[in-house]
Amino acid sequence: MDGIIVVDKPSGMTSHDVVAIVRRSLRFKRVGHAGTLDPLATGVLVILVGKSTQLFNKFVAFDKAYDATLKLGVKTHSADIQGDVLQERPFDGVTRAMVEASFRKFTGVIDQVPPMVSAVKHKGERLYKLARKGVAVERAPRQIRIDSLQLLEFAPPLVKFSLACSKGTYVRQVADDVGEDLGCGACITEIRRTLVGPFTIKEAVRLDDVNATHIHHWNPGA
């Protein structure tokens, strides 16, 4: 039993939760995932089965795409709507043109500071574990690449957008950075991953429906 399953991850559970459910469904222990999605996020989560777990690094390196929604006027400690509110500011003056101009500033090769709720390590400990303790530390920026950042719907305070990017890009941090650029703050309310490398949301299987017939025998050299 070797291969991959492209799962449409539901909101409200961790990627490890999904792995545990797939293990039980397949009655097979050697199962992992290829790239974490936050509990808030939904969409493409590639599950590795059997010997395919050895391909983890290949999948992590793939480009990714997302549809997401940010909320103007609210800044939180986690850069998403579930976090503690740090600031609330007026957003009445923000226009569609301003959002589009801000998006252009964050397109291309840029430096991004990982959010405190990320899995990046600081002195051997994951940032999200420090964040749970109420600890905030300085984080060094990392170079990422944003190929496309497109406004899909402007209905203040909500702004829906699509994002195509390199590995290591944090969608929630994009929202936070755009909010700061606009002067009103912003946080993520929804994230849906639509693509990981060659795998799209169209082929993703509902978690409740997963079984052995959904295993793809993917050849990375093909």
Catalytic site positions: 38
Taking residue 199's Cβ as centre, other Cβ atoms within 10 Å add up to: 22
Spell out where the chain has E strands.
3-9, 31-33, 42-49, 64-72, 74-76, 85-88, 108-112, 121-122, 125-126, 142-155, 158-165, 186-196, 199-200, 205-206
d(CA 130, CA 169): 20
Query: Of 208, 184, 12, nearest to 102 (Cα)?
Result: 184
